[in-house]
Amino acid sequence: MKVIGVPVQVWGAIALVLAVVWVVVWPQRQVDGLAYLILRWGHALAWLLLGLAAFLAPFTATAAKVAGMGAGVVYLAFMATIVTTG
């Protein structure tokens, strides 16, 4: 399976590399509780879920869609937290 001529496994690997980058680089704001967890791990989790979706796509479209939608929900929560804690 390919997306714009590139195998989905390559896209998945890129997403996993970005997840590792976002584990190290994150917005360090003075917040507590759930906002801290979302800011600390949300962006990396979204990329991890995108990578998972890419690796699942050739085998099961349903699981890939669930992982992709989960990535979208996590990213929206991350962006909402960024905006509201700024």
| Angle between helices 8-24 and 33-56 in degrees, nearest 10 | 160
74 is written with which tokens? 């996590």
Residue 74 near residue 34 (C-beta atoms within 8 A) = no
Domain residue extents for the chain: 2-85
pLDDT tens track, the chain, 86 positions = 888 989 999 999 999 999 999 999 988 889 999 999 999 999 999 999 999 999 999 999 999 999 999 999 999 999 999 999 97
pTM of the predicted model as reported, rounded to 2 decimal places: 0.91
In angstroms, the CA 12 to CA 52 distance is 7
Helices (H), 1-86: 8-24, 33-56, 61-85
